[in-house]
Amino acid sequence: MKTLKRLWKTNRVALIGFVLAAAAVAFFSLRIVVATLYWSNPAHRQQTPEGWMTPGMVARSWHLPRETLAEVPGIVASGERGLTLNEIAARRGIPLSALIAEMMTVLQRP
């Protein structure tokens, strides 16, 4: 405890920088562990697209580049990322099932 007090008095900026760096390392380490555990679960591979999913999640689930889904009209709009399939279907004015059917034809190609 005495060492910490001494460091706080003599090297305050360095101590704050170290604590912030350690917090960033902990955050990104936890994030990579969570992502690895999620995507290594076989239940998350080749999931049938659902309305709450984004095209990026569908592409990751099928181990495809996101640009592969660009063949489906309205999936990759300019500058709009993070839209769910429900939102994309609503913007196109088609039912969600029709959008998913279009996506499945692209996803199931060899």
Query: Residue 74 belongs to what domain range?
Result: 45-107
Looking at the fold, whether 95 and 56 belong to one and the same domain comes out as: yes
- CA torsion, ordered 77, 81, 85, 91, to nearest 10 deg: -40
Do residues 53 and 33 share a domain?
A: no
Residues 19 and 33 in one domain: yes
Residues 65 and 100 in one domain: yes
**For residue 90, what are the CA distances in angstroms to 41, 56, 60, 76, 83?**
31, 18, 23, 14, 11
Residue 72 near residue 99 (C-beta atoms within 8 A): yes
What is the value of pTM for the model shown?
0.63
Identify the band that residue 72 occupies on the pLDDT scale cut at 50, 70 and 90: confident
Residues 36 and 82 in one domain: no
pLDDT computed for residue 92 by the predictor = 87
**Banded pLDDT at 79 (limits 50, 70, 90):** low
Domain total in the chain: 2
Q: How far apart are CA 81 and CA 40, in angstroms?
A: 24
Do residues 99 and 92 lie in contact, with contact meaning Cβ atoms separated by under 8 Å?
yes
For the chain, percent of residues with pLDDT exceeding 90: 37
The tens digit of pLDDT for each residue in 10-51 reads: 999 999 999 999 999 999 999 999 999 988 888 878 888 999
Same domain, 75 and 50: yes
71 lies in the same domain as 34: no
In a shared domain, residues 61 and 91: yes
Q: Grade residue 80 by pLDDT with cuts at 50, 70 and 90.
A: low
Dmax over CA atoms of the chain, in Å, equals 67
CA angle at 3 for the pair 26 and 10, rounded to the nearest 5°: 95
